[in-house]
Structure 1
Amino acid sequence: MKKVLLTGISGYIGLHCAAELLQQGYAVKGSVRSLSKAEKLTDTITKFVDPKGKLEFCELDLLKDDAWDEAVSDCDFVMHVASPFFSKIPKDENELIKPAVEGTQRALKAAHKAGIKRVVLTSSMVAMLGDVKGDENIDQNSWTEVNAKNATAYLKSKTLAEKSAWEFVKEKDMELVTIHPGPVYGPSLSDDLSGESMTLFKRIMTGELKQMIHASINMSDVRDVAKIHVLALENEQATGQRLIVATERAHSYQEITELLKTKGYEKVSTKVAPNFMVKFLANFNSEMKGMMPYVGKKYEGSVMASKNIFNWEPIPFDKMVLDTAKSVENVLNSEC
Structure 2
Amino acid sequence: MKKVLLTGISGYIGMHCAVELVKQGYAVRGSVRSVKKTDAILNALNKHVDVNGKVEFCELDLLKDDGWKEAVAGCDFVMHVASPFFSSIPKDENELIKPAVDGTLRALRTAHEAGIKRVVLTSSMVAMLGDVTGDTNINHESWTQIDAKNATAYLKSKTLAEKSAWDYVKDKEIELVTVHPGPVYGPTITNNLSGESMSLFKRVITGELKQMIHASINMSDVRDVAAIHVKALENTAAANQRFIVATEAAHAYSEITTLLKQNGYNKVGTGVAPNFLVKLLGLVNNEMKGMMPYVGKVYQGDVSHTKLVFNWQPVPFDKMVLDTAQSVKTVLDAR
**Scaled by the length of structure 1, what TM-score is found?**
0.99
Distance 2:78 2:65 in 1: 16
Q: Provide the rounded CA distance (Å) in 1 between the counterparts of 2:193 and 2:59.
A: 24
- The aligned residue for residue 11 of structure 2 is 11
Question: 2:203 corresponds to which residue?
Answer: 203
**Aligned with 2:40: secondary structure?**
helix
1:25 maps to what in 2? Answer: 25
Query: Following TM superposition, where does structure 1 have runs of at least 4 consecutive aligned residues deviating by more than 4 angstroms?
Result: none
Percentage of pairs with the same residue:
73
Asked if 1:136 corresponds to 2:136, the answer is yes
The letter for the 2-side match of 1:187 is: P
Output the amino acid matched with 1:92.
D
Displacement of 1:136 after TM fit?
A: 2.6
Q: What residue number does 1:35 align with?
A: 35
Contact residue 117 and residue 175 of structure 2 kept, 8 A: yes
State the SS of the aligned residue for 2:86. coil
The aligned counterpart of 1:238 is 238
Once the two structures are TM-superposed, the CA of residue 28 in structure 1 deviates from its matched residue by 0.1
Aligned residue for 2:255? 255
Distance 1:327 1:92 in 2: 35
Matches within 5 A, 1:67-216: 67-216=67-216
Quick one: distance in 2 between partners of 1:146 and 1:135?
15
SS at match of 2:58: strand
Work out the CA distance in 2 between the residues paired with 1:130 and 1:112: 30
C-alpha deviations, 1:146-203, integer Å up to 9, x for none?
Answer: 0111100100000000000000000000000000000000001011001000000000
Equivalent residue for 1:316?
316
Give the counterpart letter for 2:110 in structure 1: A
C-alpha deviation, 1:210, in angstroms: 1.4
1:328 alignment counterpart: 328
Contact 2:28 2:55 in 1 (8 A): yes
Q: Is the 8 A contact 2:217 2:299 kept in 1?
A: yes
* Whole-Å separation in 2 of the counterparts to 1:252 and 1:135: 15
Partner SS, residue 36 of structure 2: helix
Alpha-carbon distance in structure 2 between the residues aligned to 1:52 and 1:191 = 21
Aligned residues: 335
Is contact 1:198-1:328 (8 Å) kept?
yes
Secondary structure at the counterpart of residue 136 of structure 1: coil
Aligned to 1:267: 267
Instruction: Give the letter for the 1:328 counterpart.
Output: V
Q: Secondary structure at the match of 1:137?
A: coil
- Maintained 8 Å contact 1:77/1:116: yes
> Which residue of structure 2 aligns with residue 49 of structure 1?
49
Query: Structure 1 residue 51: deviation in Å?
Result: 1.2
1:244-279, Cα deviation, whole Å (9 max, x unpaired): 000001000000000000001011011001101111
Would the aligned equivalents of 2:129 and 2:135 in 1 still touch at CA under 8 Å? no
Secondary structure of residue in 2 paired with 1:56:
strand
Structure 1: runs of 5 or more not aligned = none
Relative distance call for 1:22 and 1:269 in structure 2 (3 A) is same
Give the conservation status (yes or no) of the 8 Å contact 1:146–1:156: yes
**C-alpha RMSD over aligned residues:** 0.6
Q: Deviations over 1:65-124 (max 9, x none)?
A: 101011001100000000011220111111111110000011001000100000000000
Q: Distance in 1 between matches of 2:140 and 2:255?
A: 26
SS of match in other structure, 2:300: strand
Deviation of the 1:135 alpha carbon: 3.8
* CA displacement at 1:54 relative to structure 2: 1.0
Aligned to 2:217: 217
Contact 1:176 1:240 in 2 (8 A): yes
Q: Distance in 1 between matches of 2:199 and 2:86?
A: 11
Corresponding position: 1:58 with 2:58: yes
Whether the 8 Å CA contact 1:132–1:144 is kept in 2: the answer is yes
**Contact 1:130–1:136 (Cα < 8 Å) also in 2:** no
CA distance in 2 between counterparts of 1:114 and 1:73 reads 7
Partner of 1:305: 305
Q: Which amino acid aligns with 1:5?
A: L
**Superposed displacement of residue 283, structure 1:** 0.6
